[in-house]
Chain A
Amino acid sequence: MDQTITSARPEAADRTRNQHFWRANMREYGILIALVVIMAFFQFATGGILLRPVNLTNLMLQNSYIVIMAVGMLLVIVSGHIDLSVGSVLGFIGALAAVMIVQWHVNFVLAAIVCLAVGAAIGAAQGYWIAYFRIPSFIVTLAGMLVFKGLTLWLLAGQSVGPFPPTFQLIASGFLPDLFGAEGINLFSLLVGLGFAVLLLYLAIRNRRQEQRRGLVEEPFAVFTIKNALIFCAIAYMSYLMASFRGLPNVFIVMALLIAIYSFIANRTTVGRRIYAIGGNEKAAKLSGIRTERLVFLTFANMGMLAALAGLVFAARLNTATPKAGLGFELDVIAAVFIGGASMSGGVGTIVGAVVGAFIMGVMNNGMSILGIGIDYQQVIKGLVLLAAVIFDVYNKNKA
């Protein structure tokens, strides 16, 4: 009864392994395919506007702060919690930056560092109650949402504060410098983009070689080839598109670094493993010697810091801090994480999935706006997409 596989023939075993692989990874590929399909649809429907260099660059800039926060939110949700305060924290930090830089004339680097520290402290303060006093995160961060919305108003005295000095604006609106000065294209940006694509390809191949050597290969070869070819071409092509406009935005580099670092933390470090274990089964994690409280605390502190970073980017992009900044952003961020395959009950989800989820939302926003679809229908459609993504998850899980 324990013997699930008794087949002696290798092909049969291969087939079972492939089936198993598909079942286990359907979600991850599903979300990528969904993004490609949605982009293809809007590219067609907008008559090619979607992937015009200027629009693509805008798409990146518009969604950067959602992506930055989605990375932190993914860890929060994987650990079995939620953070509703991120939109308000984003607004508050933007206001803080504006007050410090514009009104007090603090050096912008120092101001940015202070802002990140304050963000981390805000996250830590909320995480403290959640982790050590077991106050539900929904309530603590709901309170945080109200508190920081209020503090933003107070800090700005109800008015917009700006503009920022040009050096600060570069965070959000700067591009990689054009070192070579080639005609019509930022060659340096293109090279950086290509270099990045090559690096990813190299890492994937090296990893597969190692797996092969130890006989631990899971992914069928065809899938491996197609997936990596697609990723390589996509990054190379996008770099080319953006390079032919003004180059890679600084924010794009920041996002790429964050995605890389946090993917690494989530997948490859003991800290990441432990966060997934806490979300999967907190009691079992605790009895395995994992300091669950401390990790939950750190997860929230990290979320606060990333919300602060997003606040800086957002303020720099608008070139002003307004009392309304960040309103409702938490919902977009949370939606992105769930579209990306994370589970409400914790323990499941990937950084890449959350980022792809954020871009699915972003492409839909952008595409529908180009098509002139009203904000009313946009909301309805986004809501239905979120629901459909989660229904798809639950359905798959029940079938398995």
Chain B
Amino acid sequence: MAVSETILEMRNISKTFPGVKALDNVSFSVRRGEIHALVGENGAGKSTLMKILSGVYPHGEYEGDIVYEGEVKAFRGIADSEREGIIIIHQELALVPLLSIAENIFLGKECAKNGIIDWQETNRRTRELLERVGLDERPETKVMHLGLGKQQLVEIAKALSREVRLLILDEPTSSLNEKDSDALLELLREFRARGISSILISHKLSEVSKVADNITVLRDGRAVSTLDCSAGPVPEDRVIRDMVGRSLTDRYPPREPRIGDTMFEVRGWTVFHPIDQDRKVVDNVSFHLRRGEVLGIAGLMGAGRTELAMSLFGRSYGRYAGGEAFIAGEKVDLSTVPAAINAGLAYATEDRKSYGLVLDQTIRRNVPLANLEGVANSGVIDRHREGEVAEEYRRRINIKTPTIEQSAVNLSGGNQQKVVLSKWLFADPDILILDEPTRGIDVGAKFEIYTIIRDLAQSGKSIIVISSEMPELLGITDRLYVMNKGRFVGELPTAEATQEKIMSMIIKAGG
């Protein structure tokens, strides 16, 4: 087998979203029978690159060329790339839980004659495929009865049934235990021996260095380096440095923190997963927050940060299983959202569209939603006051729109975020939890939001910022907690923190 033969070459790929350059001139190539790891921080452009490769962003929506098996390809959708043997397995598995393993594997490609399914053939081929991926289950077993590790294998078996030549795995082991992870990685090695190439996207550098032949590091939409592992594993420090190394000058407003007494304290907060009743999503978390302080919670996606925040905010996530909260030394009831708001809490969600805004309604109606009494007299809305409030926030935090009668759905991400912030500012909380406040927002709007956060803190509010962008946390917070797998695994003043320190805290805690 010609080991050096190139199966895929992505040349000078650029992709722009409104306001954000997601990929900037990225070149990336994979050889036949190679495991190529793609690493980078959240938002570095890994998923975007893979979506371009698999045709989710069709030809014409990006610049550059995809050369696959020696030909320039113009994929118009996933069907096109699948036909060529490029198969992507997403972090959130795309299986139908109520269907059997066999039905899932052959979904859309049923072994059928004239529309009538040949079950014997289906089951025979399923058994063959399951054997190849080392899954000892009957083809008739429903997918809902399988654990995540086994489901992952079903996905891979499905890929094999479509004659995969290039397998893309997006964070395949993020929810697997060690044994399942090892089995999966072993499977990738077997595929390598048979000439199937894999692209492995992962945050777990330890396993990346175990199996990868090459590691490409993406940062801020650029390919920073490609590290060759054939001469032996590349040190993790080196990879981390490439992942995070960038300067922080002038991207954050200058701050003069005035930090007071402890305002908010949480002890032993524990939350179980809403469906998987035995899984602790937040495990015995304790922390405190001072008046005028900006506190950051760092961690990877799925660390449990959003779940912690939503659980604190009126038990809006999962099943509460213990823990107490204190505001200014007094124990407070946070068992419902109205109670939490009453206690002085606000939570601005990471998912503006699903949880933050009533998209079809105007700015004027969205802004007072968390404090309707503030624009009403004994239950009757004072429309003029309502308009004035919306207008005031439009000016004060610079929501760029011709009129407050604009529907929220028509605003850009940054302006939608400002509407969500306005809503909570009008509720006048003491403690604001901001979950990914700048996700999907362009650089200019980010700076404005940082400035709002700074001003709020200086006016005496206490703020918790959850963010997956570490430079942001380092730029705008006073103190940091590091969260991993539902637990707080470290605490440090931002002045002493570096991205390397945070990353190594996460990795030491078990990736």
Contacts and interface: CB of A to CB of B under 8 A. Distances in A.
Interface of A: 1-5, 13, 16-17, 20, 24, 210-211, 214, 216, 218, 267-274, 276-277, 280-281, 283-291, 347-348
Contacts of A20: 402-403, 405-406
B347 interface: yes
A216 B316 CA distance: 37
Contacts of A285: 358, 369
Given A268-B383, A281-B357, A289-B370, A4 B401 contact: yes
B495 interface: no
B391 to A, nearest CB: 8
Interface residues of B, number: 45
Contacts of B349: 287
Given A20-B405, A24-B405, A268 B361 contact: no
21 contacts: A1-B412, A3-B400, A214-B387, A269-B376, A269-B380, A270-B373, A270-B380, A271-B379, A277-B369, A280-B359, A280-B361, A281-B358, A283-B354, A286-B316, A287-B314, A287-B337, A287-B347, A287-B349, A289-B370, A347-B358, A347-B361
Interface string B11-23: 0000000110000
A348 B402 contact: no
Contacts of A271: 379
Given A2-B414, A214-B387, A284 B379 contact: no
Contacts of A216: 384, 387
A285 B316 CA distance: 12
Nearest to A286: B337
A75 to B, nearest CB: 16
A218 B360 contact: no
Nearest to B391: A216
Contacts of A276: 358, 361, 365
A273 B372 contact: yes
A287 B380 contact: no
B376 A270 contact: yes
A273 B388 contact: no
- Interface SS majority for chain A: helix
A289 B337 CA distance: 5
Given A269-B376, A269-B379, A281 B384 contact: no
A286 B370 CA distance: 9
Nearest to B354: A283
Contacts of B356: 284, 287
B361 A1 contact: no
Contacts of B355: 281, 283-284, 287
B467 interface: no
Contact of B405 (A214, A218, A272, A273): A218
A110 to B, nearest CB: 30
B434 to A, nearest CB: 14
A273 B372 CA distance: 8
A344 to B, nearest CB: 13
A270 B402 contact: no
B454 interface: no
Interface string B440-481: 001001000000000000000000000000000000000000
Nearest to B381: A268
A234 B409 CA distance: 37
A395 B222 CA distance: 41
A287 B313 contact: yes
B438 interface: no
A274 B369 CA distance: 8
A6 B365 CA distance: 24
B354 A348 contact: no
Contacts of A347: 358, 360-361
A5 B402 contact: yes
B379 to A, nearest CB: 5
A17 to B, nearest CB: 7
Q: Which 6 A-B pairs have the closest CB atoms?
A: A280-B358, A2-B400, A5-B402, A270-B372, A288-B370, A289-B341
Contacts of A24: 405
A1 B405 contact: no
B482 to A, nearest CB: 26
B423 interface: yes
Interface in B406-438: 406, 412, 414-415, 423, 427
A270 B379 contact: yes
B397 to A, nearest CB: 13
B361 A210 contact: no
Contacts of A218: 405
A148 B337 CA distance: 37
Contacts of B384: 210-211, 214, 216
B19 A281 contact: no
Contacts of A210: 384
A277 B358 contact: yes
A193 to B, nearest CB: 27
A215 to B, nearest CB: 9
B359 A17 contact: no
Contact of A277 (B337, B361, B383): B361
Contacts of B361: 276-277, 280, 347
B338 interface: yes
Contacts of A214: 384, 387-388
A290 B138 CA distance: 48
Contacts of B340: 289
Given A2-B415, A20-B405, A273 B18 contact: no
B337 A273 contact: no
Contacts of A284: 354-358, 369
A289 B340 CA distance: 8
| Most B C-beta atoms less than 10 A away, residue of A13, A269, A283, A284 | A284
B358 A291 contact: no
Contacts of B388: 214
Nearest to B382: A268
